[in-house]
Structure 1
């Protein structure tokens, strides 16, 4: 995602309309375990944004990209990691368990 790379290079934290710029039809194949681990790391960064959550935040855009790779869709993030983990698990129980374990291993090191 060129917009994300550019924002990071310019030390910007938001991309206006960023969700609309996600490459949803990218045909690359990714190792599922690596994507789950990366998503767990992203969740660690945004675990308590609550009322400060912004759909155009680069962290949110990275999370959305990774979940699309895993689930084929973008989930809503309401500002709570635990609510998100439950929703993710409701979407795919096996991947949800793996994500929960990956997230917990980072939080409780």
Structure 2
């Protein structure tokens, strides 16, 4: 997931690559895939609840590509079977701090 302030800075220097909008055509798909949201393992439309064990963080293509189908129907394993991935991803916040200088104001 990209931090909003970092996205604003990225857009200032790379407007075409960081474009955003209300439709899929208006957005850059590379950044859209980095957007995370809460997904229901058993889709809400199929009786899934908002219980913690039914919710996971998913990227846009995984969540919206799966749509109303169950994990089994699209042959995806239950993500609860694996430990959480903890890595060095910083949400592009490194764009907000310039080496040896004060943080960049994301509102500029």
TM-score range, shorter chain: under 0.3
Which structure has the larger Rg over C-alpha atoms? Answer: 2
TM-score (ref. length: structure 1): 0.25
TM-score (ref. length: structure 2): 0.25
Between Structure 1 and Structure 2, which shows a larger proportion of helix residues? 1
Between Structure 1 and Structure 2, which shows a larger proportion of strand residues? 2
